[in-house]
Structure formats: C-alpha cells, structure tokens
Amino acid sequence: MKVYLLLLLLLPLCTAQKFTIQCYGEDFLMVNNMLLDCSGPVQQACYTRDNGEKGCTSKVYLLLLLLLPLCTAQKFTIQCYGEDFLMVNNMLLDCSGPVQQACYTRDNGEKGCTSKVNCSKPGWTCCHTDRCNA
C-alpha cells in the first residue's frame, strides 16, 4: 500500500513540465568552465561553492514536501514470539508496519506476527499486546 501512495505522490512530478537551465560547471579534475544543460522534473539552480566548484543542482524542496506524509505516517509496532517447524523456536520478533500488527498462534503451532486483517482467518488466534503469544 505504501508503494501506491508513493506513486500517487510522485505522479505530479512525472506529468509536470521539465525545468531546464544552463550553468557553467567547474571542478578540480576535468571540467573547467564547461556549459552544462541541466533539466529535471523539479526546478533547477546553478551553484558556486566556497571551494570554487560550480555546477547545477535540483531544488528538491517540492519532492521532500510530497514525501513528507510517508515519513510522518504512523508505524505500528509489536513484539511477538515466533515459532515454525524448521529453524525458529520461541524467538522474540520485533514487528512493525504501516498497518496495525498482531501476534498470532495458528492451529498447527506456528507463531509470529501479522497484519490485523489475517486475524479473521480460520485457525488463527491473535492477540494485540507485546509478547502475548508466549
């Protein structure tokens, strides 16, 4: 679900105009006052650093503003015991995700954590506090 939200937020960047600017570039290895054509989905700017380096860069403030909801989205966390029939035996798991998490124990003895939507499946017993599926 997070991927769809990211794509939805980035859609204006894909359909928006391309910003272009010409800047002079200079570094200390190979580029000496070379004319650069800079373009991108966000506004471009020319820069000169204190050390004399010149070039162009993107103004990513718009992109950061669009991505802010992803960074501030609530993250649900819970600690659960995990157990399977191969390698995991009562291992403490730190589970987190963008949707509410739950600890579970299945009829076959398997234990772990899952999103809350799986708790309505037959054979699944869920609980919603840390380490509750001991």
Domain count, the chain: 2
- The torsion angles phi and psi of 51, rounded to 5 degrees, stand at -85, 5
Q: Is residue 83 assigned to a domain?
A: yes
pLDDT, one tens digit per residue, over 16-41 is 566 777 777 766 666 676 777 777 76
Measured CA to CA in angstroms, residue 98 lies from 46, 56, 57, 113, 131 at distances of 38, 36, 33, 14, 20
Domain limit, last residue, from 32, 49, 71:
71
CA 22 to chain centre: 32
Residues 66 and 82 grouped into a single domain: no
- What separation, in Å, do the N-terminal and C-terminal C-alpha atoms of the chain show? 30
- The torsion angles phi and psi of 132, rounded to 5 degrees, stand at -80, -10
Q: Any idea what DSSP says for residue 117?
A: G
Residues 93 and 121 grouped into a single domain: yes
H/E segment holding residue 25:
strand 19-26
Residues 35 and 60 grouped into a single domain: yes
> What pLDDT sits at residue 130?
95
Residues 117 and 96 grouped into a single domain: yes
> What pLDDT sits at residue 102?
94
Residues 56 and 80 grouped into a single domain: no
> What pLDDT sits at residue 76?
87
Tally DSSP H helices, then E strands, for the chain. 2, 9
Domain that holds residue 80: 76-127
> What pLDDT sits at residue 60?
55
Segments of the chain with pLDDT less than 70: 1-18, 26-31, 33, 41-42, 58-73
Residues 67 and 82 grouped into a single domain: no
> What pLDDT sits at residue 126?
95
- Distance between CA 64 and CA 1 in Å, rounded? 20
